[in-house]
A and B are shown apart, each in its own frame.
Chain A
Amino acid sequence: MRASILLSTLAMALVAQATSLTGLRTLVLLDTLDDVLIYTELWSDLEGRHFNLTLNDVSTPVSLTKYDRRLYDHLIFLAPNMKEYPKGMNAKEVIGFMAEGGNVILAGSSELANPLRELSREFDVEFDNRYTSVLDHFNYDKELGQAKHDTIVVDPSSHMSKIDAIVPQDKLPGPILFRGIGHSVNPKNSLLTPILWAPQEAYSWESVNLDESADQDPLIAGKDISLVSVMQARNNARIAFLGSTDMLSDAFFSASPKKQGDKETVSGNRKFIEELTKWTFQEKSALDVVAVQHHKVGEEEAPAHYRIKDNMTYTISLAEYHEGEWHPFSADDVQLELIMLDPYVRKTLEQLELNDQSTVGTFTTTLQLPDQYGVFKFMVNYKRPGLTYIESVTTVGIHPFRHDQYPRFISQAKPYYTSAASMGVGLLVFSFVYLWGGLDSTVKTTKKA
């Protein structure tokens, strides 16, 4: 067991060279190559994190895979106007790219064209109609959104998800600026998590002509408008949906958001995008199972099988990847399930205290196995938004009692024991009397006579 821990730590150390667990080859699709200059800060941020960027415009043919192997590890769509995919690429290719483990960032704008709209629909994300924008006359930015009130200032403390694994709130220096299109997410899709949503007063409406009043109920309004959402697929590939390409631009990175009647603040966009790309590109919040151990209480090795009602100890070690290294993972909600078709036992594991030498987070529990025999799965099914899904399955057999494993001496069975013993004693007494005892021969003869 120790050897296997060592090996996996070694394997981790090898991977730890790169900042992203998936890899560094990144393809960026832009409407035109002139747009490169809009996002210079983003490029320098990504290159600072060792990513190899390939900047393409949509007219350049490109292929994502060759001989069934990915040619890129990450894909960034900064081409909202893309009317059709570059030659050699289509929606199926992109989904196949994700199925192979590639990560995607998809940024839209109010001009978002059909290909990306349809791609998003595959992930239960529905962008509002073309040429609509998220408008807010109450939370617009005085400088960037003066004309149309379409650049909105979003307060992360109230309108951002509280999941620190994706974007931790305390790392943002200020509010987030957004200008673009809103989308709605299917609430029944548990793989999807909205990260940023619109203020209560916001609504999504055509932003071409604002002279006429919006005289019909908006399709989506308020917090139903998702501005940024993320999805982690079942194979742990990650995708982020942003309604705004401007969010990633130099102008928004360096802006000083100022709401009507408020003080000027610092834009949190740069940090927000940094954390979001770190999450999407698997630079953080990635988990791995390092070791699983189980044994009977008082023993060390895993037995070939257990017996019903055995007391046993289960231990799982988890590591979390961030800043290019594996660290011990900490949580208080890791659960173990004993499953045979249905879960028979579900128990929250306790984490052992970490010390300076800890390389993994160790979660353990001791429990009594159910009085049902069969083939059980010890399963840690740890799925939390923002974290790599963990499904660790150990199959074990649980046997019933053998004939000689039942309680041997029951006080209620004493009559049976006694009768058996009395027969044994009786046999000895009888044979003794028969063999060496005898009636007095004189008495017998006198009686006969």
Chain B
Amino acid sequence: MAKFKSLLLVTLLASLSTAIAESWKVQDINLIIAAPGGNKKAEHKLEYPNAVQDLTADSTDVFKFSFKIDNKEKPHQAMVVFQSQDEFQDEIMVAASVKSSGKGRFDLNFNKADAKFKYGTRKYAMTFLVGGPKIEEPYKYTLGNIEVKGPSNPTTRPARLHYQAQPEIHHQFRPDQKLINTAISGLFTFLVLTPFAVLFFFWSKLDIKFEPFQAITSKPFDLINAIVFFGSIAGIEFVFYSYWTHVTLFPVLQALGGLSVVAFISGRYVLSAVQTRRLQRTAGSAKKEL
């Protein structure tokens, strides 16, 4: 008797739980892809949990989906979710209208549907969802994949803007100025020096004597003048050299001012000595002619 009672209880509980855990019964799932004229390109009768693979549709095709629900209750949600199989995973939810007979259907014209179908040719995973508040357990059927061709002029996907690190920028420096070969400049350096060779060659022909130079060694005043004058000219040149290498304008002007006064005064004496010598020489030669 006890055994019978417990059996009864178990069956009662079982029936009760089936009543609560009622699930959606979906049948006659049909999937048709039709060309704009109405020609069927593909037709599939689907049965849970078989999935279709490699479906393709043009951007102008119509996706026809129908099914029948064998429950007393009408579902609130009978929708197919298309999820794009790319980095964005865009989701498009398409609803079917379910009649009181339980028959449900929708026609999806890709041309007029959600703008997300128009971002270009993409592959979508299809999932059929049936659910409603009356029945606890929802129904989910992974239908398979479909490739939908994008229209000839696809729209651009509005990219989500967010702050992030920007790519680095490396400055392109201007290339250095191109310089001629050092061999050529070396050759010209040599050419620049050749006049000296010519000069010394002709001077050697002229047979120059440094008699006055030997002569001034005996006259201390002339000697000092000569050294100071020559030294000041060399000094001026050294100042020019310094100006070129490192000294700035104002110290240079100062030094030049000083040196030029020295050169001017000592130069007068040196040049007058030269003039005296010349006059002496012409006088001497005149004497000889006489």
Query: Which residues of A does B touch, CB under 8 Å?
Result: 135, 137-138, 147-149, 187-190, 193, 200-201, 203, 205, 210-218, 221-224, 260-261, 309, 333, 335, 337-338, 343-348, 368, 370-371, 383-385, 404, 408, 410-415, 418-419, 422, 424, 426-428, 431-441, 443-445, 448-449
Chain B residues lying within 8 Å of A411, measured Cβ to Cβ, are: 179, 182, 185
Give the CA-CA distance A24 to B132 in the complex, in Å: 45
Name the segment of B55-63, B158-166, B251-259 touching the other chain. B158-166
Chain B residues lying within 8 Å of A137, measured Cβ to Cβ, are: 76-77, 129, 131-133, 138
Give the CA-CA distance A443 to B205 in the complex, in Å: 13
Chain A residues lying within 8 Å of B114, measured Cβ to Cβ, are: 217
Chain B residues lying within 8 Å of A337, measured Cβ to Cβ, are: 169
24 interchain pairs, CB-CB under 8 A: A190-B162, A210-B133, A214-B76, A214-B77, A215-B97, A221-B79, A223-B89, A333-B165, A344-B169, A345-B169, A385-B162, A411-B185, A414-B188, A415-B189, A422-B193, A422-B195, A434-B274, A436-B212, A437-B212, A438-B208, A438-B209, A438-B212, A439-B208, A441-B285
Give the CA-CA distance A432 to B213 in the complex, in Å: 9
**B189 and A414 within 8 A (CB):** yes
Partner of B192, one of A148, A201, A335, A415: A415
Number of contacting residues on B, CB 8 A?
A: 85
**B209 and A445 within 8 A (CB):** no
The smallest C-beta distance from A201 to any residue of chain B, in angstroms, reads 6
The smallest C-beta distance from A369 to any residue of chain B, in angstroms, reads 8
Chain B residues lying within 8 Å of A348, measured Cβ to Cβ, are: 165, 168
Query: Which residues of B does A touch, CB under 8 Å?
Result: 74-79, 81, 83, 89, 91-98, 104, 114, 127, 129, 131-133, 136-138, 140, 158-171, 173-174, 179-180, 182, 185-186, 188-189, 191-193, 195-196, 199, 203, 206-213, 216, 226, 230, 233-234, 237, 240-241, 245, 248, 270-271, 274, 277, 281, 284-285, 288-289
Give the CA-CA distance A449 to B285 in the complex, in Å: 11
Partner of A203, one of B93, B211, B248: B93
Give the CA-CA distance A346 to B160 in the complex, in Å: 23
Chain A residues lying within 8 Å of B245, measured Cβ to Cβ, are: 408
Give the CA-CA distance A435 to B228 in the complex, in Å: 13
**B133 and A149 within 8 A (CB):** yes
A437 and B209 in contact, given A213-B75, A348-B165, A414-B186 (Cβ under 8 angstroms): yes
Give the CA-CA distance A137 to B137 in the complex, in Å: 8
Interface of A is mostly: mixed
A433 and B208 in contact, given A221-B91, A383-B163, A427-B237 (Cβ under 8 angstroms): yes
Chain B residues lying within 8 Å of A213, measured Cβ to Cβ, are: 74-78, 97-98, 104, 132
**A418 and B160 within 8 A (CB):** no
Residue of B nearest to A440 (CB): B209
**A438 and B211 within 8 A (CB):** yes
Given A333-B164, A345-B169, A435-B271, 17 new contacts (CB under 8 A): A135-B77, A200-B81, A200-B83, A212-B76, A213-B75, A213-B97, A214-B95, A216-B95, A218-B93, A384-B164, A426-B199, A428-B230, A433-B203, A436-B226, A437-B208, A439-B207, A448-B285
A203 and B77 in contact, given A187-B159, A412-B182 (Cβ under 8 angstroms): yes
Residue of B nearest to A261 (CB): B137
**B133 and A148 within 8 A (CB):** yes
**A210 and B274 within 8 A (CB):** no
The smallest C-beta distance from A20 to any residue of chain B, in angstroms, reads 23
**A437 and B95 within 8 A (CB):** no
Chain A residues lying within 8 Å of B92, measured Cβ to Cβ, are: 221
Chain A residues lying within 8 Å of B210, measured Cβ to Cβ, are: 436-438
**B98 and A445 within 8 A (CB):** no
**B191 and A415 within 8 A (CB):** yes
Give the CA-CA distance A282 to B179 in the complex, in Å: 61
**A370 and B131 within 8 A (CB):** no
**B233 and A431 within 8 A (CB):** yes
**A436 and B77 within 8 A (CB):** no
Chain A residues lying within 8 Å of B168, measured Cβ to Cβ, are: 335, 346-348
**B91 and A222 within 8 A (CB):** yes
**B169 and A435 within 8 A (CB):** no
The smallest C-beta distance from B150 to any residue of chain A, in angstroms, reads 20
**A441 and B284 within 8 A (CB):** yes
Residue picked from B140, B158, B163, B213, most chain A C-beta under 10 Å: B163
**A441 and B281 within 8 A (CB):** yes
**B77 and A345 within 8 A (CB):** no
The smallest C-beta distance from A330 to any residue of chain B, in angstroms, reads 15
**B161 and A188 within 8 A (CB):** yes
Chain B residues lying within 8 Å of A427, measured Cβ to Cβ, are: 233, 237
Residue of A nearest to B113 (CB): A217
Give the CA-CA distance A448 to B288 in the complex, in Å: 12
Chain A residues lying within 8 Å of B77, measured Cβ to Cβ, are: 135, 137, 203, 213-214
Chain A residues lying within 8 Å of B237, measured Cβ to Cβ, are: 424, 427-428
Chain A residues lying within 8 Å of B104, measured Cβ to Cβ, are: 213
The smallest C-beta distance from A412 to any residue of chain B, in angstroms, reads 5
Give the CA-CA distance A154 to B166 in the complex, in Å: 33
Chain A residues lying within 8 Å of B186, measured Cβ to Cβ, are: 414
Chain A residues lying within 8 Å of B140, measured Cβ to Cβ, are: 138, 201
The smallest C-beta distance from B13 to any residue of chain A, in angstroms, reads 19
The smallest C-beta distance from A160 to any residue of chain B, in angstroms, reads 16
